[in-house]
Structure 1
Amino acid sequence: MKSEFLYKYPKTLLNKGVGFLKGYSHSLNPYTGCVFACSYCYVRQMPVQLFRDQDWGEWVDVKQGAQSILEKELKREKKKGPVTIFMSSSTDPYQPIEHKEQVTRGLLKAMVQNPPDFLFVQTRSSLVTRDIDLLQTLGPRVRVSMTVETDSDEIRKHFSPSAPPIAGRLKALVRLREAGVATQATVAPLLPSSPAFAQVLSETVDRVCIDDFYMGDGSKGKRTERLGIYALHKEIGMEKWYEPDAYQKLVRRLRSQFSTDQIYISETGFLP
């Protein structure tokens, strides 16, 4: 899939935390659009995509001047009260274009100079390890949440063929942990996995969050249903993994490797 990259000059970057992110003062998206083009991405149903001519994954808006904009916004917002940031809610801050443009790295530099009270980094890319130096500087103010929705790369390819391989994500989590950066594995959305998944995660992280197509899509599963995700499960004979209580199977498996206070369900695992 070939994507078009457009350069935009936003006036602001920080958005008020609402809905699923109401526990945060702000959300922050270095890019608009995402080339990972996951089949289940809820942004496919949002106006930002519905009013574009290209399909989801075929376009990315690169936000220019982001570092200097955020520097100004942080100074202003911190005068009003605590600043907690979720990065990112509708894109991946470490999608491939970040190698070249380094918008996300620039934003982290701004936060190192004037740290928020807390930063939650949500990604599925091992490129996040490039910024270990800045993440270490933020110390206890940051947590990196790596999406690991399954332990099967065949399953990953079926649902999100353009997303990074699972093995690379797990290795990135180990590197971050060894560097002293707080992490979690986020099984979101829940996809079919093997009985060994729990042990694989226990060797990688000490905190896991599970979310599925019913708790996390903001519409009790209706928005995901419109994306045809059930049909994708049916194609591989995995319909049972799409049921509302399927996540409990993984919870039971995780409990053999993790204590109760290391397992988070849906929104609680994303809070500051």
Structure 2
Amino acid sequence: MSWMTSAPLVKRVFRSGRKPERGRINLPASWIGTKIVVAPERDYVVVPKAEYERLKRRLRSLTFVKEMFESVLNAHDGRKMFSVVSKTWNPVTGCLHMCSYCWARRLAETKLRNSERYREGFVPRLNERELRVKFGPGDVVFVSDMGDLFGDFVPGEWISRVLAHTRRFPETYFLFLTKNPARYKEFLDEMPERAILGATIETDRDDLYVREAVSGAPLPSRRYEAMRDLEWDAKFVSIEPILDFDPERFPGWIEEIGPVMVYVGYDNYSNRLPEPPLRKTLELVERLSEITLVVRKTMRRAWNEGIEAYAQGGGGERALGRRGRLAQE
């Protein structure tokens, strides 16, 4: 049995003036007053309790990811090796968060506006026929990529019906993503065993979110708190589209959440969001890679990086035009 999963001994460190006896362990003076973990193995391991908990979360995440990838790669369905999500499934569509960058709303109101699901706009809708869809072992299903299943505007009855259908397929992984993760708690007893509960957290800066009118969804800090307090082993965070952030606080948020994986990427639709410089994003990716699996999505320079450099070099507002004014505001 691994020392990470066996029962540890938790002890508090005290100062001792006696000479070390046989079997006694000398510990750093800085550990006095703190709790440590003595892991029961052939060769005992002594670590601070906080570090032990961090390592345990890390092992749990890696174990889950390993099992998921093994299941995916053993499915023998011709799927590309690195395409983890095998299919999307939209039993509920539509959303009322009104995110400024929402590609799904744009699609529903343009190319799909004459389809049955979106004739009345991008409003929440239960699609009954989707509750007859079947899934296979090893499938990784992204649920409701054309909506937010756990938005406050979705009736609880709809959510329960969707989750009841997922429980019919115990060997399938279901990936949920919401901007309202506080609502997960209402349905934990109904979740399928292989559910991966995710939240989009684009930034840690509520002030930026409000000032730029990014979305009507719960503020990023609320989502972080909900995910941090969520008692579920397989959690997932999407930092996409990434917005400017505090380089010290934001990675701390993610570590406290303890996700099995994190997606990081820039906006794909030229929305001119308040983006961080590419170097700052890459440093975030490097830090997060030390604590969890990081999947890089679109990586590019922020749309205004070149403009800001030009402005700082003496280029005038008149020469820069509208984009220059945006960069200087």
Q: Structure 1-normalised TM-score?
A: 0.66
Specify the code of the residue in structure 2 equivalent to 1:122. L
% same residue: 20
- The structure 1 residue matched to 2:238, chosen from 171, 182, 186, is 186
Task: Output the CA distance in 2 between the equivalents of 1:108 and 1:252.
Answer: 38
Residue 269 of structure 2 is aligned to residue 253 of structure 1? no
Residue 228 of structure 2 is aligned to residue 174 of structure 1? yes
- The structure 2 residue matched to 1:262, chosen from 265, 272, 293, is 293
Residue 145 of structure 2 is aligned to residue 89 of structure 1? yes
Paired position in structure 1 for 2:133: 73
TM-aligned CA deviation for residue 101 of structure 1: 4.4
Task: Output the CA distance in 1 between the equivalents of 2:235 and 2:287.
Answer: 20
Task: Output the CA distance in 2 between the equivalents of 1:33 and 1:256.
Answer: 35
Residue 103 of structure 2 is aligned to residue 42 of structure 1? yes
Residue 216 of structure 2 is aligned to residue 165 of structure 1? no
TM-aligned CA deviation for residue 109 of structure 1: 1.4
Call closer, same or farther: CA 1:184–1:148 in 2, change over 3 Å: same
- Partner of 2:257: helix, strand, or coil? coil
| Aligned-CA RMSD value | 3.1
Q: Structure 2-normalised TM-score?
A: 0.55
Which residues of structure 1 form unaligned runs of 5+? Answer: 1-17, 218-223, 268-272
Deviation per residue, 1:227-253 (Å, 9 max, x gap): xx22x53xxxx6xx3xxxx34413313
TM-aligned CA deviation for residue 116 of structure 1: 5.0
- The structure 1 residue matched to 2:89, chosen from 25, 28, 36, is 28
Larger radius of gyration: 2
TM-aligned CA deviation for residue 174 of structure 1: 1.9
Paired position in structure 2 for 1:4: none
TM-aligned CA deviation for residue 108 of structure 1: 0.9
Deviation per residue, 1:4-28 (Å, 9 max, x gap): xxxxxxxxxxxxxx9xx96434212
Which residues of structure 2 form unaligned runs of 5+? Answer: 1-78, 299-329
Residue 179 of structure 2 is aligned to residue 124 of structure 1? yes
Paired position in structure 2 for 1:5: none
Task: Output the CA distance in 2 between the equivalents of 1:192 and 1:90.
Answer: 25
Whether the 8 Å contact between 1:148 and 1:188 is mirrored in structure 2 is yes
Residue 204 of structure 2 is aligned to residue 151 of structure 1? yes
